[in-house]
Chain A
Amino acid sequence: MKEVFSYVKPYKWTALIAFSLMLLELFVELAQPLIMAKIIDDGVRAQNQGIIWQWGMVLLALSFVAFIAGVVNSYFSSHTAQSFSYDLRNALFEKIQFFTLATYQKFSTASLITRLTNDVTQVQTVLFMSLRIMLRAPLAVIGSIIMAFVVNAKLALFLVIGAPIIFIFLIVMVAKGVSYFGRVQKRVDRLNRVLQENLQAIRLVKAYLRGAYEASRFDEVASRLKIDTVKALRTMEYIMPVLLFIMNMSLLAVLWFGTKQIDSGTTPLGDVVAIVNYAMRMTGSFSMFAFIIIFYARAKASAERMAEVLSTENEIELPSSSENASTGLNNGELAFEHVSFTYPGGDSPVLSDVSFRVKSGEKLAIMGATGAGKSTLLQLIPRFYDVTEGKIVVEGKDVQQWDLQELRETIAYVPQQSLLFTGSIADNVRWGDAEAEMEAVLHATMQAQIHASVEDFPNGYETRVGQKGVNLSGGQKQRLSIARALLRKGHILMLDDSTSALDVKTEQALWEALNEEQATMLVVTQKIRTAKGAQRILLIDGGKVVAYGTHEELLQTSALYKKIAISQQEVEE
């Protein structure tokens, strides 16, 4: 909670100004009954018209002051609240960017989305309302009490009789509120999740006619959200009636004792009237009060969720862990030394004792059965996950010694599933290098054999590709993915089964173009024909290296390899 509100610090001056202006408005409001009393006692009763006009003018002047103060306050409150939430959002987003992949799983995507938008809005609303008017209510209450004491201490006492009860009551209510609203936000997470899944898989849902099924799934989640929201809000509804009742009772007490005192002549009428006035003012503030409590509880629940994100320490990627600059080898050498890896939370190792080495500019083909661990192997290199045992050496240095950013800039990665982002084709390719000139972009797309297709599109490179790059064929997406990686000009190029959707001719042309590349290449593939073009082949089965060598060597030494080759008709039986 503190962590979140620390983001207000940079704006403490504007907040202070807004706050003081609000106090000014409050002052005017509190002064009114006093002036009223004056008008009645010194003016009306004393039959002094001049006094009436005099104090009337004062009231008017004060109104103007309050108005100006109010308008300016609005400006400053907005500024504070909006800047605060802007900073908060950015901080959250930044933090999330540096999460490790494992941490993403801890907080689901949907939950992160909720925290970045919905939760921020809750807190922002509270901040704004606090500076604008919310604090007025409690301050009005306190101010009224003080003024009441100033006017007549004995009577004023009755106003505060109920205070301790109220206090305890409120604390209990807030605690309840926080817990209930926290639960509500979790329900929003679930809602988001079902929504997101449906949006991503809409074709699947339609193909399998699961529309009704999905709708009932959603219905359940929405229903739970409704129930929990109702529960939270209804619980908070007790606040106002209770406060009001207690307050009104105090008012009656004032009336009673006040009358007694007027009777005995110890208190002037004006005093009683003033205090009654203050009392009614206080009750007037109570609905706002209840409102505040509710908002506060909501904000606290949201703040806690955000603090969870902001305070994740261990599971983020440390940007830099070493003092040495890069070794200057710049040659794309890579070596795995007895690497074993188990996914966090997993039982059995996905990779066991994997060792191999790739020299500068060489091509290594990685083959193996489904689930053998090939993609995982690639993902360890840019440190998406860290090895459980052993080490990976890039250009002579352990990857864990590299500056993470520099390490990843050395690597160009084409994942198995082509993922493109909303934007133009040129934008997507420029993910490889944001500063690249159009020439470089064209060169990359030509190498990736996609340039001709892009030219065929009506808008060429400015053609927009929607989320996930729909309306491009699988092969086109793959080639764009490759172009993106090529533009990066990394020292190590990793292709994870990235040519599966390409036809023979295109693929051949691609490999030819890639041969010109000086980068070290790691190619995960199913096709022996592709593997043949590599200097060495790594065959993995069950997470272990079962064969490692050239194509010819493997044909001799590995039964498994031979079997695959035969099935692909690469070799006669």
Chain B
Amino acid sequence: MGFFQKPFGYEPILTKDDVKQTVKKKKGPRATNWKSTLIRLWKIVDEQRALLLIVLVLVLVSSMLALLGPYVIGKMIDMYVTHGELAGLEKGIMLLIGIYALLAISLFLQNFWMIGIAQQTIYRLRTSVFAHFQRLPIAFFDRRQHGELMSRMTNDIEAVSSTLNSSFIQVFSSVLTLTGTVIIMLSLSPLLTVLTMTIIPIMFWAMRWITRRTAPLFKEQQAAIGALNGMIEETISGQRIVKAFSQEERMKEEFREKSVRLKNTGFWAQTYSGYIPKVMNFLNNMSFTIVAGIGGVLALYGHVSIGVIVIFTEYARQFTRPLNDLANQFNTVLSAIAGAERVFALLDELPEEEATSAQKHKLLGQVSFQHVYFKYEQKEEAYTLKDIHFNVEPGQTVALVGATGAGKTTILQLIARFYEVSKGEVLFDGVNVQQIERQALRSQMAFVLQDPFLFEATVRENIRYGRLDASDEEIEEAAKRANAHDFIMSLKDGYDTVLAADGSGISQGQKQLLSIARALIADPKVLLLDEATSSIDTVTELAIQEALDLLMQGRTSFVIAHRLNTVHNADMVLVLHKGELVEAGSQQELMESGGIYAQMLQSSSHHLEE
């Protein structure tokens, strides 16, 4: 998994040979992996230990009762039915009614509570992963497909869920039933018992053969589902482009390919795991045959009574059934483990580190970069930013200028500490940003992004996102200053209008107005504006500019803008070119020095789109 995925559109179609390869590759170290996953899973379940113990006790009770039933019946057949004795039978029947009633109740309760335990575990798993997401660095999200991550939260956890719901009890009750049955069988006829047990070694061998194949296949299957999910999310989100470029056919083809991968993996996984009950059934029948045949002969010679044979066949079946169930469960458990592994992989991702010495620091507004170098990925060779060095005093407005791709947005991202510098330092009031608690830092900043992402919530709530305790009046005030109030009032429900998920319904420019209102309400010490006003017409923009000017007073502001006006009003202009800071100074100084900036200004006559 990671940045370097398989090339677009190429997904191998699994053949049986591929399956063999997959199995061969993954045989070795896998064994330890699933044990640790199981243990981790168990830890979460264990949080509800008290309830779990009650359930186990109930399983014990119901298993015992289930065993008791046939035993009593067998005895009754021998003692009463054979002789047609009704009187004694009646007593037996009373006993049985009692047993059955208790059985029904305990079965119900054990499952009732187990479901609660299982779903609570799932809930805990889900919320842990989500909480962990919030701590992960942005670089993590850059590398992953959204849909693939979503798949882990839904499909993979679902695999765990269905196992927990039933497997846990099944396994326990199977083990109990097995033990109880063997004891009873031994008490009835040690000879027949031994005969029945001959099937066990065969069973183990068969299980091993099958699960060796199914385990890696289940993993593949979950991965295939993830990939499919990823593609679905992306194409549905990008429908507009798909339609505009008539790429529907191509998308279908690609989907088909990914779907085929899932189909083939799924096919082999299901087929192999389907063998288990067949093998078990066969062994089941074998044991029945053995007991019937040999038992019959023994009965002939008076070594064993008929009643015993009848009961024994019943127990022989009761013996193989839990084995059968265990074997089946094993496969389900494997599938759950495959899912759980993928979920735990997320939990194992390293969160953004916070140095232990990090403190809350009240920003005064001084920002400086000390010989900063930066690249997005360690493996990349070239630096995106090279030797960036500048100093900004509190309250100053800084305009970042330069060709696209020069590194302007990157600098803003570093100020907000979305990424860590590769070399050099970012200082706030002389304090290294890594010594400042992230929460503290960002709570004193407001960031207006290039992509003004808005949530599927009301306009009011979207603006309130800037400061959760803002009152409705403050929200309207901010909206007015961002010049958004008018268009909001023209919407169907005004401030209570719910915005659509893909943002349609309001224009791009209007979205930016909202995101500016959002920033205004946050009342930050440091303001970061990333090309915020370029999609707004110049008339509206003038009005916003006034509001922003007011806002920027007393705050340190970094602005990437394309309008001459903005740059005009800046205290300092930083000129970037291919990741390097080539010029820095006030507008005045740069004009006088006649450098790149001055040239840019001249070549564009009246407009500087920088």
Contacts and interface: CB of A to CB of B under 8 A. Distances in A.
A205 B402 contact: no
A400 interface: no
Nearest to A367: B537
A466 B89 contact: no
Interface string A362-383: 0000011111101100000010
Given A63-B285, A77-B274, A249-B100, A369 B537 contact: yes
Interface in A397-447: 405, 408-409, 411, 413, 415-417, 419, 421-424, 427, 431-432, 434
A154 interface: no
Contacts of B490: 348
Which of B131, B151, B234, B289 has the most chain A CB atoms closer than 10 A to its own CB?
B289
A369 B483 CA distance: 12
A52 B293 contact: yes
Contact of B292 (A35, A223, A241, A431): A35
A154 to B, nearest CB: 15
A205 B134 contact: yes
A252 B86 CA distance: 12
Given A214-B134, A464-B5, A500-B531, A237 B119 contact: no
Contacts of A569: 564, 606-607
B404 interface: yes
A501 B536 contact: no
A305 interface: no
Interface string B411-424: 00000101000000
B300 A47 contact: yes
A81 B506 CA distance: 45
B247 interface: yes
Given A90-B259, A431-B245, A503-B609, A82 B266 contact: yes
Q: Which of A223, A256, A467 has the most CB of B within 10 A?
A: A467
A234 B115 contact: yes
Contacts, number: 521
Contacts of A241: 103-105, 107-108
Interface string B270-312: 1100110111011001101100111011011000001001100
Interface in B553-610: 562, 564, 600, 603-604, 606-610
A453 interface: yes
Interface string A234-275: 100110111011001101100110111011100001001100
Most chain B C-beta atoms within 10 Å of own C-beta, residue among A29, A206, A478, A567? A206
Given A83-B263, A424-B8, A284 B465 contact: no
Given A78-B270, A199-B150, A204 B449 contact: yes
> Chain A CB within 10 Å — which of B4, B134, B404, B522 has the most?
B404
A371 B158 CA distance: 43
A90 B502 contact: no
B232 A458 contact: no
A133 interface: yes
A56 B256 contact: no
Nearest to A269: B82
Contacts of A277: 310, 314
A502 B609 contact: yes
Interface in A8-58: 25, 28-29, 32, 35-36, 39-40, 43-45, 47, 49, 52-53, 55-56
Interface stretch (A108-116, A353-361, A388-396): A108-116
A458 B150 contact: no
Interface string A518-532: 000000001101000
A56 B145 contact: no
Contact of A200 (B248, B264, B453): B453
Contact of B297 (A49, A77, A502): A49
Interface residues of A, number: 188
B405 A471 contact: no
B244 A411 contact: yes
Contacts of A242: 104
A427 B9 contact: yes
Interface in B106-143: 107-108, 111-112, 115-116, 119-120, 122-123, 126-127, 130-131, 133-135, 138, 141-143
Interface majority SS on B: helix, strand, loop or mixed? helix
Contacts of B237: 109, 200
Contact of B236 (A67, A96, A374): A96
Nearest to B492: A347
A169 interface: no
A199 B141 contact: yes
A544 interface: no
Contacts of A324: none
Contacts of A255: 73, 76, 81, 89, 92-93
B7 A417 contact: no
A343 interface: yes
Contact of A90 (B84, B252, B449, B562): B252
Contacts of B271: 74-75, 78
B246 A409 contact: yes
B288 A59 contact: yes
Given A500-B531, A506-B404, A208 B465 contact: yes
A417 B454 CA distance: 14
Contact of B609 (A66, A382, A504, A567): A504
B451 interface: yes
B270 A128 contact: yes
B534 interface: yes
Contacts of B314: 277, 280
Interface stretch (A97-105, A142-150, A331-339): A97-105
A200 B234 CA distance: 11
B508 A202 contact: no
Given A415-B241, A568-B538, A256 B306 contact: no
Contact of A564 (B131, B513, B538, B607): B538
Interface stretch (A157-165, A189-197, A550-558): A189-197
B509 interface: yes
A506 B603 CA distance: 12
B466 A208 contact: yes
B540 interface: yes
Contacts of B101: 245
Interface string B147-179: 101110111001001000110000000000000
Contact of A60 (B3, B241, B286): B286
Contacts of A252: 93, 96-97, 100
Contact of B93 (A113, A256, A497): A256
Nearest to A121: B155
Contact of B84 (A43, A45, A99, A260): A260
Given A112-B236, A256-B93, A500 B535 contact: yes
B288 A32 contact: yes
B36 interface: no
B494 interface: no
B502 to A, nearest CB: 7
Contact of B127 (A83, A202, A218, A502): A218
A138 interface: no
A269 B24 CA distance: 56
Contacts of B126: 191, 218, 222
B539 interface: yes
B183 interface: no
B228 interface: yes
A85 B269 CA distance: 15
B531 A467 contact: no
25 contacts: A63-B286, A67-B278, A70-B278, A104-B236, A114-B154, A198-B130, A198-B133, A203-B138, A203-B418, A206-B416, A207-B447, A207-B449, A218-B127, A222-B126, A252-B93, A346-B505, A370-B537, A416-B508, A422-B230, A424-B7, A427-B8, A458-B380, A467-B146, A475-B403, A505-B600
Closest 8 CB pairs of A and B: A475-B404, A263-B84, A370-B509, A56-B293, A70-B278, A74-B274, A211-B134, A63-B285
Given A207-B445, A238-B108, A248-B103, 8 more contacts: A62-B285, A85-B263, A207-B449, A209-B442, A249-B97, A405-B246, A484-B245, A569-B607
